[in-house]
């Protein structure tokens, strides 16, 4: 950007700002500074306690070299396997529940009342964290992996149905019209016109959700929903950092595996 008022020959270039309006720009800067001052001022930090804890933090970092897989191996294996079962079951149930809701939440194929109803279900399932849902489901269904499965299935709806509905809304309507013109019924229309168009995205989303559900299955255990979370919580509570480090390493390794595999499968599908 050139400054036209400067005498010719001495014009200098200035970088254009991100926010063009200077009033808005300065208002944002001042507002951010004021917020930071107030926020930092009102945040109570017990520095003494933090200072006291630092050696413990060092102990945690040292626990990674080497992590202790052996002494709690039975509990860890049990928790990890339970997490994996929960992941598989809840992803399948969640997707089965999501598909009809996604069809209802796609504006181009659902009538308006159905659309609003399905969108309301999605919004409801999206607004609460898994952990909050888990607290209530543990209360209703008792401790154990079943409550965790219900939690993850419900949470899957909010994610999966929303993204699938958006993909259905983005589909090519001419293909759907063509199938309809051959005299296909509603289910044939779904199966031959819509399903092939959204299938690649469907598979991609399923794998992505599988990955998320595994990560989340590690935390529903903290409130009693089964899985590795309970083991991890106990390890932290007892300051058994070397066992905790082992669990974290296993979680990271599995997540990496799932991510790598799903990336490979997605490439293969498309």
Q: Identify any residues that bridge with 13 across adjacent strands, giving them in sequence order.
A: 2
Rounded to a whole number of angstroms, the minimum distance from the CB of residue 129 to another protein is 5
For residue 195, CA distances in Å to 108, 170, 188, 190, 209 come to 14, 13, 10, 6, 19
- Separation between Cα atoms, residue 53 and residue 191, nearest integer Å: 59
Binder to another protein among 115, 189, 192, 208 (CB under 8 A)?
192
For 252-270, letters b (16+ CB in 10 Å) and e give: eebeeebeeebeeebeeee
Nearest alpha carbon to residue 82 among 236, 231, 237, 260: 231
Please report whether residue 2 would count as binding another protein according to CB under 8 A: no
**The two structure tokens encoding residue 17:** 């700002």
Comparison of 43 and 174: residue with beta carbon closer to another protein: 43
Rounded to a whole number of angstroms, the minimum distance from the CB of residue 111 to another protein is 26
Per residue, the 3-state secondary structure of 34-68, as one string, reads: HHHHHHHHHCCCCHHHHHHHHHHHHHHHHHCCCCC
Comparison of 91 and 104: residue with beta carbon closer to another protein: 91
In the shown chain, the binding pattern of residues 41 to 80 toward another protein, with x for contact by CB under 8 A and - for none, equals -xxxxx--xx-xxx-xx--x--------------------
Comparison of 104 and 229: residue with beta carbon closer to another protein: 229
For residue 111, CA distances in Å to 104, 163, 176, 197 come to 8, 19, 16, 21
**The two structure tokens encoding residue 85:** 């079962």
Please report whether residue 88 would count as binding another protein according to CB under 8 A: yes
Binding residues among 234-253 for another protein as defined by CB under 8 A? 236-237, 239, 244, 248, 251-252
Binder to another protein among 190, 215, 265, 266 (CB under 8 A)?
215
Binding residues among 14-33 for another protein as defined by CB under 8 A? 15, 18
Nearest alpha carbon to residue 216 among 94, 67, 75: 94
| Residues lying near another protein in the complex (CB under 8 A) | 15, 18, 35, 39-40, 42-46, 49-50, 52-54, 56-57, 60, 82, 84-86, 88-89, 92, 127-129, 131-132, 135-136, 139-142, 144-146, 149, 192, 215-216, 218-219, 222-223, 226, 229, 232-233, 236-237, 239, 244, 248, 251-252, 255-256, 259
């Amino acid at each position: 950007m050139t400054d036209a008022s400067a005498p010719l020959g001495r014009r200098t270039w200035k970088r254009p700002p991100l926010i063009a309006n200077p009033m808005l720009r300065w208002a944002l800067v001042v507002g951010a500074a004021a917020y930071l001052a107030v926020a930092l001022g009102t945040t109570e930090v017990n520095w003494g306690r933090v200072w006291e804890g630092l050696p413990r933090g060092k102990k945690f970092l040292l626990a990674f070299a080497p992590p202790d897989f052996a002494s709690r191996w039975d509990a860890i294996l049990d928790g990890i396997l339970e997490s994996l079962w929960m992941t598989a079951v809840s992803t399948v149930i969640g997707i089965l529940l999501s598909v009809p809701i996604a069809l209802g939440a796609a504006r181009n194929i659902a009538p308006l009342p159905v659309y609003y109803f399905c969108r309301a279900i999605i919004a409801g399932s999206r607004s609460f964290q898994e952990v909050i849902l888990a607290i209530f489901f543990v209360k209703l269904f008792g401790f154990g992996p079943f409550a965790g499965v219900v939690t993850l299935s419900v949470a899957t709806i909010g994610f999966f149905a929303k993204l699938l509905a958006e993909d259905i809304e983005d589909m090519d309507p001419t293909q759907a019209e063509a199938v309809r013109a051959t005299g296909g019924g509603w289910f044939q229309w779904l199966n031959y016109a819509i399903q092939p168009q959204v299938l690649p995205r469907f598979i991609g989303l399923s794998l992505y959700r599988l990955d998320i559900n595994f990560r989340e299955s590690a935390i529903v255990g903290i409130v009693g929903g089964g899985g590795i979370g309970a083991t991890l919580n106990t390890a932290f509570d007892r300051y058994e950092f070397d066992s905790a480090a082992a669990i974290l390493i296993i979680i990271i390794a599995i997540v990496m595996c799932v991510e790598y595999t799903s990336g490979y499968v997605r490439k293969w599908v498309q």
